[in-house]
Structure 1
Amino acid sequence: MSLDDLTRLVTDPAIEYRPEVRWWLAEGLHTDETLLREVDTAHRLGFGGMEFLAMDEAGIDHARYGWGSEEWTHDSHVVVKETTSRNMAVSFTSGTNWANANLPTITPDHPAAAQELDVVTEDLGPAGSRSGLLPRVDLDAEAPTTQLPGHRGKVTEQHLVAVVAARVLEATTLDLQSVVDLTDQVRDETLEWRAPADGQWRLFVLWMHGTGQTASPSASVNYTVNYLDRDGVEAVIDYWTSVVLTPELREQISRNPRVQMYMDSLELSTYGAGGLFWGRTFAEEFRARRGYDITVWLPFLLRSVPFMAVSTTYHYDVREEHRVTVEKVRFDYVRTLTDLYIENMLRPFASFLHDNGITLRSEISYGLPFELTRPGPEVDGIESESLEFGAQIDAYRLMAGPAHLFGKQYSSETGATTRNHILDHRFYDQIIATQLAAGITKTVLHGWASTAGAEGVTQWPGHEGMWSRFSERFDTRQPAAEFYPLWNKAIGRYQAVLRQGRPRIDVGILRTDHFTDNTIGLALTDSEGRRIQDEDAYGRMWMRDRQNHWWQDLDMQDAGWTYEFFDGSLLPRDEVSFTDGLVQPDGPGYQALIVYQETLDANVAAKLLQWARQGLKLVIVNGARELKWLVAGQHTTHHQAAARTPGLDGRDEELAQTMAELRALPTVAEVHDPAHSRQALRDLGISGRAEFTTGNQSVLSHLREDGDLLHLYLYHFLYETGEPTTVEVALPGIAAAHRIDAWSGDIRPHHGVRHEAGRTIVTVSLAPGEMALLTLDRAAAQPTGSDPVTAKPLQEISQWTIAVESWDAGDLEVISEDRGLGYETREERPLTAITRLDAGHGPLRPWKDLPEVGPEVSGVGEYTATFTLDQAPAAGTRYVLDLGSTAGALGCVQVNQGVVKGFDTSCPQVDVTGDLRPGQNQVTVRVSSSLNNRLLARGYYDAIPDIIASFTGGNETQQTTVHGHGLLGPVRLLQETTTS
């Protein structure tokens, strides 16, 4: 790409670069009128695509409108057709709690349904004997509740898998050496056995049965499919082939090159005492892959998982001398789960989708005891989520590894919080800004809902879709929707530029974990159980309190070095190469790798040795600490890196020999404190590609290389606690530097450039929360340096005429539809009443402090003022209108009759150079708010449960206070000049 190509790209970024939305449909209830209006509105507001799914809607006939019904099929066709006609992307949604991941064609007893391994125990005293039928699982017992959605349906069949006995040393400690497999002694589900005379014994009777997990809404009872045996995916493929993918739908799909299946988080549950995911082929597959029988180890795998895999607790343990052995077996179990998920679900499902013109985008492995990065090569797009990982940079770096290694589109579901209509827009902008710093270039907003919903249950501001206690809505109920076209175009410019070329990541960090904490965004209570609000946690804690979660030393980050994580077992794949000193040179181009965890696969170590002999730079780091589970305050310290293999493969000595050979190589360094890692890398000859000349604790960066162009993204991430900062970034090559204004699409020369020692050094000043996007052109003829600019205030605009468009509940519109099927579909659509409140002329103050407006108002404020320029704007001088603060709100600026321009919510400045004239100038600023103040005044939050309280057994409602919305200023006209 040339600079001219880049200019064309950012002038009006194509629709495929714009943010998309997750659309929560009220099952199949929406009328065609509503569906058409919503798709057209999303397109008009600048969104690039819609991902749709059925949400449970109260007060309607699920058999008529649920997933799988004729109404749902019809609505799906309408959505696909209408998005396609507007060149928008469209995504079906798959996930355990969205009914279309489950099937009406199976029962829990079918092998295609999800299976679990359950257990019943018997205790025997010394020399105690038992005979007769083995105890069975009571499938009629009430299923335990879980913190995941869904519930257990009726399960009727169970199949004996194994019977194992073990001597009990203490209540939950078993004698490993005593374990005996009695399965071969079972006859017709009966067992006669006498326990040895030495101590108390426990008999473990292990049965496989369906989990029975189902979810609503659907037209019939749909059961969760089996993700481990091939039966599950074959049943899904058969159902989609024969029922869902009608000729009409296939025809529409063929017209749209951006049809996707989005596989949401795998919120699978087990309900029995065993807590183990299982399948009819699991034991056989385990033996073939791991080289030993799993049966005698089953008592040590029994577990409880109240919420996501990270919450796993094992029921039984062993003496300390055997603990590592059992940990190896537990690793082998979950590694096998990951293998089967990849081979028996993702791979064939992706192949089927591709054959039908659909790509697969997935939150791979989320929520289950699966490795999180290893499935990356199997999907077309890798998706992260702002909620589950609390929008933390280390979490985004985790998923960036496989995305960049294999050239996958890296996206994130963005905007799910535990608040509703409360947070200012800047909060969500900061999530997106953090994502961009990790290489995420597709934002899928969570989410969108029509304001229309079922009769009798839909109230203003409209049908909620994703529960009123959870997430945010980026649709027309928001006063900010007026400014979404400007906002979507700005985010589209960032995403367009940062998809060009290839990422340049300095360091790859090997990290394997089957229980990665994906509950960070719910860790919102303090040590005394008090609720921490999202805005405080995201803005002041965790990464913004200098507490990264997995690589906790911040020396590389503070130096501008970039790094990301991935499972080392991805390195031996054929698609991954080491050439010219770089790992995956056509991908992230890691200059070095880091090994820090106590376990390392022997095959991975062998690959590292092979590459290190060819010049790979490797640092072995001992003593690193990483997060295990934030809610519980648990961390893991890896005292010695690569001390053993993770599984029970008998290769510890082989690993030790390989590591000894590695340590002897000149390209390998070892440190005993993570804080020494960067210096060790520097001693090996490594430097950051976009390195800060001096340390900076406020800025994150991301770099893309696109031929002669380098695209540099910078972000001041301390948006609540930081101060303005200036950073110098040194980049390779002699280049001309350009600054891209994402809000206007302008590309202008960047001032603050010098060249030395074959590098270009750019100086960038950033306000807290501000993003910057620069492009360096190394093909430019004789690039020269330039001094930084300084902004001189010309005048402050202190007096404004103020009016606020106050939003409140209006009339209720009824929408009806008769499609000739013998019934009428009716929706209610709450309308918004907008009242203009004139607040007179005077200084800027929050709306709540304006007598004519007050603390109960949400909406859009309009501010007008005039100011005088004594002379015409000087040629070559840039004039900037600095709004000071808009209370984190979206808005726009227009000077005289110039173009309406948007602005960064953290640094609301607008280039008005071309709009000024000598003499009197008029400026109009429009600023939106959230619905917080109006909903608070209406008592809306009195009935909204706090989702965090519900997890801990409380009954508190969401708490909020009156916000100080409005243009707060000070508003100043700045003149930018270069220093001498």
Structure 2
Amino acid sequence: MKTTLISMLLILSGAFPLSAQTSEGLYRSFLNPDKAARPRVWWHWMNGNITKDGIWKDLHWMKRSGIAGFHNFDAGLETPQIVKRRLAYMTPEWKDAFHYMLTVADSLDMEVTVASSPGWSETGGPWVKDEDGMKKIVWREVDIQGGGKLKLRLPEGFDVTGKFQDYHMASDYISQVFMSRKFYQDIAVLAVKVSEEDVPMRELRPVVTASRGRVTLEQLCNDSISDGAVIASDQNGNSWVQVEFAKAQTIKSLQWSGVSSNGDIQALSYSLSASDDGIHFRKITDLGYQGCIEKTANIPMTTARYFRLNIKNSATDSSLISMLRLFPVNRVELSADKAAFAFYRYASSAYTPSTTDAIPLGNIVDVTHYVRNGVLTWKAPEGRWRIYRIGYSLTGKTNHPASLEATGLEVDKLDPEAIRSYYKNYLCTYLDASQGMMGKRGIQYILTDSYEAGPQTWTIRMRKEFMRRRGYDLTPWMPALLGLVINSAEETDRFLFDWRMTLGEMMTEYHYDGLNDILKEYGLKRYSESHEAWRANMTDGMDCKRTADIPMSAIWMRYNQKKLSEPQFESDIRESASVAHIYGQNIAAAEAFTTNGYRDGALVYSPAVLKPTADAAMACGLNRFVIHTSPHQPVDDKFPGIGLGVYGQWFDRHETWAEQARVWTDYLSRSCYLLQQGRFVADVAVYYGEDTNITGQYMTRFPSCPQGYAFDFVSPSALKEVLMAGGGKLLSPSGMEYQVLQLTNVARMSLSVLHKIAELAEDGVVICGDKPGQLAGREGSLAEFRELVDKIWNSGRKNVFTGFPLGQILAKRGIEPDVDFLGNKEKLRYVHRHLPEGEIYWIANQTPEILRPKVSFRISGKKPQIWHADTGMKEPASYETRDGRTVVDLQFTPYDALFIVFVDDADVPFVRFPEISKTVLAKIQTPWEVKFQHRRGAPERAVFDALTSYTASPDMGIKYFSGTATYSNVFSLDKKLFGQKAYPKRIVLDLGDVRDLAEVYVNGRKQGVAWRAPFRIDVTDAVKPGRNSLEVKVVNVWHNRLVGDVQPGARPVAWTQVDFYKPDEPLLEAGLLGPVKVEAEY
């Protein structure tokens, strides 16, 4: 794998555009960015609602709107049929439409990407056979007494298709179809000699009762998760299940399982109480969250006759309790989560307590060869033996959300042959549909979207893979996957680390890295997302993206603006950006502005609302936007039209501001163009540890990095296989240079990582962070681990720091901040790109305030220019050079973002430009004639004596109007203005406030589109002495019309497949609000 990665790096490291150019050449490309910088969109074809007319119109709208390509999905989501003839997936009619789409896209020079399966996640379809589906370990257990020949019919293995053991809950028709399948294969039968004290609760025959409902001992103690008791909650959501022993028992751990009545395991929280008399209970402990339906916890050793599992149901309805076992021995803490049956992000840090109850590895006997036709015939030695029949069945996960005819099992993510077979089938269908248009023309990329296929814990080659990767036999350790402590608590946790790492490595290599070889056969490349916003599987997210041609992430949109973005999404973007920086792809893309219309607002998003989130994404390293989403609109008589269920954006040709969208894509494109130039500059490399992923670890916070310094994340594999020391820095073949390696999440560390850190420390790299406390994995010895730790941290090295803040270490090493905001530190964010001929800095104001900061940059000898991506304008900046740094005066409007470009040589160390002065030339206060877009429920025209929001109008058609309204008026300019020597630098139309966009015409000439505050348009070249005509096309979003359509007695004007709003939904201000004036700038 290391050889493959290095080879890939040598190919990708040429991707950084580092050729020298003048600022004028750079500026020309900035004004009209190339295809690489322009956004793509996700283009969903929904449930067969496809027409060639709609395809042609969609693609031509994309092209004129500045969109360079699209990712095509075929999805379902129970979208209603609105076309005369539905085109079902991969029918001849569908293929004909698909080929037509490719020919149109090719004629427009558009990049075409296809998702890796029908729906959006992940790799599945109706051609996947049961034996090639995703698999999970299942088991049955029975206790016996040894000392003679045993002939035991083993319990039947669970053949149920579902998430865990025999549990499944089918939520829709498609799920019911696939969950009804039966599949089971044996793995091994193991006999485990347990202590005589480890008596199962079932043998003790306690009395079990519940607060409300009937529960049996068999329900609580059998292996079944489906066989449970319904326990009603009281009005506060409380209930309990009680175990009453005949005499006091000492309990050290418990195992339980429960869900709310709708199948939500997260709705329930638990605690455990004990009593000696059944009346007076004492609380033993709260039982924390676990991700799997089956939960295991160790408790303070407690002796009592009565034990109660207290249940708190946040839904205040009934709960299904299908397991409650109390153990006199310790078990593996969070055993199901640690065995990867679920993805609780803190599972790996939940230590199993030291215990004397560990089972020696020699007490585990593989008796598989004594089993015939489900009967174990074996001469069992003396003692208590627990027989485990371990096998595997299907998880039943299907690709989603596909149409019914395109739905099938998700393919086994750990089986390279099954994956290759899957893609051969999938890509051959597209080769046929495209009529050979794959590679340089037609389909160019495959997208693996965010992983949503759930856990997988088995594949047919698992034991061989484990032996090859870990160097020891998996089989005798398998009882640890079921919760037993083997040899010692520490060694069991180390085995479970090896298990999770093996699952992650296999998925990374086979499902992600291995895909490249398959795609090359078809001339294709790939975009790849990974976990998105949490921990979605056992892989490392950077590893999933490391060999992708375009590493990709996601950022969601929140309309309320209280959060411009959220840490987990910013972490995802930084993950992709870090991959692009270290491995050399340079491009970091993101599924951008995804939203849930019910929760976050539907069809309310103008460019001004989207911009702060776009800027937050770029601050994290994003430099290619893939807008989510632009659903295919097959017809023109339904608008806004089809959507991706409840999910937005709704960025398509039926959006109200569709014909003004170019100003928005130009802003994104200009920004991304400069953010793709040169290479990223970061002083800090943040190593985030093993057995984790970035988005899970940093869901709520970022690693601490002092203001003015940037960082990249570093994965264990990147650290070991890619990065190297040079001149006391941490270097990558792509050209990245890091001054400091910061270690986080290192309470446990593997020997392979520890060896690399020792090597870097020896070569002078500055290392800071805590030293590891425990060995992760069973590789190597504890003595070697301790020796290396001492060598790195306890030998007086001057380049290794622990216990010191990162900022202090940077200062001590003489590493100045790259950017010093000199105030406003929490309000501004930056990105720095290094060019051979200079530097590019991008700074964003993430507040609604006007800011006028002085900003100090770690550069001298170059004069700064300010480039505006929203308008394409540039201007020289006032600056001063002192102490080897350049201090620049900047001014930010609310949610503004500026590029400060240092390319041209500075002639002098100090430049000061006078501030712009403004003079009002005319105030437009006469009545406005307003014409409303037809077929939108408003009158043809109206006169507004004063500018006000449509929502204040008594006319219901105007009040609820959404679309384009054309405001007309005139203004006059004094002839003397045009004859004077001191003619203004610019004459500007100030529109005051606009909701939401304004396309301005003066004397019949288009002057541009104002799309964010301040709504000002340069009209210098259009105005004339005397009378001037003014036309302002104002566009507001769909929201108000959708609210108007649900008013009592209303005749709907718009159509959506989802009813997002109720009649009492507050309206949004709309229209030209003013005041409008003409100003001269001097």
Given the two structures, how large is their TM-score scaled by the length of structure 2?
A: 0.72
Q: Which moved more, 1:152-161 or 1:92-101?
A: 92-101
Q: Is the Cα–Cα contact under 8 Å of residues 656 and 964 in structure 2 kept in the other structure?
A: yes
Gapped runs of 5+ residues in structure 2?
A: 1-20, 201-251, 256-329, 332-356, 558-564, 1047-1051
Which residue pairs with 1:584 in the alignment?
732
Which residue pairs with 2:977 in the alignment?
871
For residues 732 and 603 of structure 2, what CA distance do their matches in structure 1 show?
44
1:14 counterpart = 2:14: no
1:139 counterpart = 2:323: no
For residues 436 and 912 of structure 2, what CA distance do their matches in structure 1 show?
57
Which residue pairs with 2:522 in the alignment?
356
Q: For 1:447, which of 599, 612, 629 is the aligned residue?
A: 629
1:204/1:971 CA distance change after superposition, 3 Å: farther
Q: For 1:244, which of 416, 422, 430 is the aligned residue?
A: 430
Which residue pairs with 1:499 in the alignment?
676
For residues 154 and 775 of structure 1, what CA distance do their matches in structure 2 show?
62
**Quick one: which amino acid aligns to residue 254 of structure 2?**
A
1:754/1:53 CA distance change after superposition, 3 Å: same
Which residue pairs with 1:950 in the alignment?
none
Q: For 1:619, which of 768, 777, 783 is the aligned residue?
A: 768
Which residue pairs with 1:820 in the alignment?
none
SS at match of 1:772: strand
Q: Is the Cα–Cα contact under 8 Å of residues 863 and 924 in structure 1 kept in the other structure?
A: yes
1:405 counterpart = 2:535: no
**Quick one: which amino acid aligns to residue 386 of structure 1?**
I
Which residue pairs with 2:412 in the alignment?
226
Which residue pairs with 1:765 in the alignment?
891
Q: Is the Cα–Cα contact under 8 Å of residues 121 and 452 in structure 2 kept in the other structure?
A: no
Shift, 1:891, TM fit: 3.6
Which residue pairs with 1:341 in the alignment?
507
1:849 counterpart = 2:980: no
The C-alpha deviation readout for 1:593-628, integer Å capped at 9, x for no partner, is 2112123343333333333333322221xxxxxxxx
For residues 666 and 908 of structure 1, what CA distance do their matches in structure 2 show?
58
Shift, 1:327, TM fit: 4.1
Which residue pairs with 1:328 in the alignment?
494
Pairs within 5 Å for 1:32-431: 32-56=52-76, 58=79, 65-95=87-117, 97-98=119-120, 101-109=123-131, 112-122=132-142, 131-139=152-160, 144-145=168-169, 151=175, 152-164=178-190, 165=192, 167=198, 169-172=252-255, 173-174=330-331, 175-177=357-359, 180-185=363-368, 186-188=370-372, 189-191=374-376, 203-215=387-399, 216-217=402-403, 219=405, 222-240=408-426, 242-246=428-432, 249-251=435-437, 253-255=439-441, 259-269=444-454, 276-301=456-481, 316=483, 325-366=491-532, 367-387=536-556, 390=566, 392-408=569-585, 409-419=587-597, 420-431=602-613
SS at match of 2:960: coil
Which residue pairs with 1:816 in the alignment?
none
1:436 counterpart = 2:623: no
For residues 418 and 915 of structure 2, what CA distance do their matches in structure 1 show?
62
**Quick one: which amino acid aligns to residue 415 of structure 2?**
D
For residues 799 and 170 of structure 2, what CA distance do their matches in structure 1 show?
47
The C-alpha deviation readout for 1:147-181, integer Å capped at 9, x for no partner, is 89973355343111134546565322524426754
SS at match of 1:761: strand
Shift, 1:699, TM fit: 0.7
Q: Is the Cα–Cα contact under 8 Å of residues 377 and 402 in structure 1 kept in the other structure?
A: yes
The C-alpha deviation readout for 1:80-137, integer Å capped at 9, x for no partner, is 222121111110111584488324333212xx33222223344669999882133211
For residues 444 and 426 of structure 2, what CA distance do their matches in structure 1 show?
15
Q: Is the Cα–Cα contact under 8 Å of residues 92 and 261 in structure 1 kept in the other structure?
A: yes
Which residue pairs with 1:962 in the alignment?
1067
For residues 1063 and 755 of structure 2, what CA distance do their matches in structure 1 show?
54
Which residue pairs with 1:567 in the alignment?
715
SS at match of 2:499: helix
Q: Is the Cα–Cα contact under 8 Å of residues 868 and 897 in structure 2 kept in the other structure?
A: no
1:508/1:861 CA distance change after superposition, 3 Å: farther
1:354/1:140 CA distance change after superposition, 3 Å: closer
Q: Is the Cα–Cα contact under 8 Å of residues 364 and 382 in structure 1 kept in the other structure?
A: no
1:206/1:915 CA distance change after superposition, 3 Å: farther
Q: Is the Cα–Cα contact under 8 Å of residues 54 and 66 in structure 1 kept in the other structure?
A: no
Shift, 1:727, TM fit: 4.5
The C-alpha deviation readout for 1:308-338, integer Å capped at 9, x for no partner, is xxxxxxxx5869x966544433332222122
Pairs within 5 Å for 1:601-620: 601-620=750-769
Shift, 1:502, TM fit: 0.8
SS at match of 2:114: strand
Q: Is the Cα–Cα contact under 8 Å of residues 97 and 267 in structure 1 kept in the other structure?
A: no
1:834/1:964 CA distance change after superposition, 3 Å: closer
1:662 counterpart = 2:754: no
Shift, 1:686, TM fit: 1.6
For residues 611 and 802 of structure 1, what CA distance do their matches in structure 2 show?
71
SS at match of 1:360: strand
For residues 958 and 202 of structure 1, what CA distance do their matches in structure 2 show?
63
Which residue pairs with 1:744 in the alignment?
871
**Quick one: which amino acid aligns to residue 759 of structure 2?**
Q
1:846/1:729 CA distance change after superposition, 3 Å: farther
Shift, 1:295, TM fit: 3.7
SS at match of 2:58: helix
**Quick one: which amino acid aligns to residue 277 of structure 1?**
T
The C-alpha deviation readout for 1:548-584, integer Å capped at 9, x for no partner, is 834354x62xx22212323133122247664563423
For residues 383 and 1021 of structure 2, what CA distance do their matches in structure 1 show?
92
Q: Is the Cα–Cα contact under 8 Å of residues 754 and 760 in structure 1 kept in the other structure?
A: yes
1:863/1:804 CA distance change after superposition, 3 Å: closer
Which residue pairs with 2:268 in the alignment?
none
SS at match of 1:73: helix
Q: Is the Cα–Cα contact under 8 Å of residues 804 and 860 in structure 1 kept in the other structure?
A: no
Q: Is the Cα–Cα contact under 8 Å of residues 363 and 384 in structure 1 kept in the other structure?
A: yes
For residues 506 and 838 of structure 1, what CA distance do their matches in structure 2 show?
60
Q: Is the Cα–Cα contact under 8 Å of residues 830 and 843 in structure 2 kept in the other structure?
A: yes
For residues 994 and 862 of structure 2, what CA distance do their matches in structure 1 show?
36
SS at match of 2:28: helix
Pairs within 5 Å for 1:681-696: 681-694=810-823, 696=825
1:575/1:617 CA distance change after superposition, 3 Å: closer
Gapped runs of 5+ residues in structure 1?
A: 271-275, 303-315, 521-546, 621-639, 811-831, 948-955
SS at match of 1:171: strand
For residues 867 and 481 of structure 2, what CA distance do their matches in structure 1 show?
54
For residues 326 and 776 of structure 1, what CA distance do their matches in structure 2 show?
56
Shift, 1:198, TM fit: 8.5
Q: Which moved more, 1:792-801 or 1:122-131?
A: 122-131
1:476 counterpart = 2:649: no
**Quick one: which amino acid aligns to residue 848 of structure 1?**
T
Q: Is the Cα–Cα contact under 8 Å of residues 121 and 451 in structure 2 kept in the other structure?
A: no
Shift, 1:967, TM fit: 3.5
Identity of aligned pairs, percent? 19
SS at match of 1:466: coil
Which residue pairs with 1:636 in the alignment?
none
Q: Which has the larger radius of gyration?
A: 2
Q: What RMSD in Å do the two structures reach over aligned CA positions? A: 4.0
1:49/1:190 CA distance change after superposition, 3 Å: same
**Quick one: which amino acid aligns to residue 737 of structure 1?**
P
SS at match of 1:239: helix
Q: Is the Cα–Cα contact under 8 Å of residues 879 and 973 in structure 1 kept in the other structure?
A: yes
For residues 44 and 26 of structure 1, what CA distance do their matches in structure 2 show?
23
Shift, 1:683, TM fit: 1.1
1:848/1:365 CA distance change after superposition, 3 Å: closer
For residues 610 and 515 of structure 1, what CA distance do their matches in structure 2 show?
23
Q: Is the Cα–Cα contact under 8 Å of residues 890 and 903 in structure 1 kept in the other structure?
A: yes
Shift, 1:410, TM fit: 0.7
**Quick one: which amino acid aligns to residue 442 of structure 1?**
R
For residues 149 and 685 of structure 1, what CA distance do their matches in structure 2 show?
64
Shift, 1:652, TM fit: 5.0
Which residue pairs with 1:711 in the alignment?
840
For residues 22 and 412 of structure 1, what CA distance do their matches in structure 2 show?
11
1:925/1:604 CA distance change after superposition, 3 Å: farther
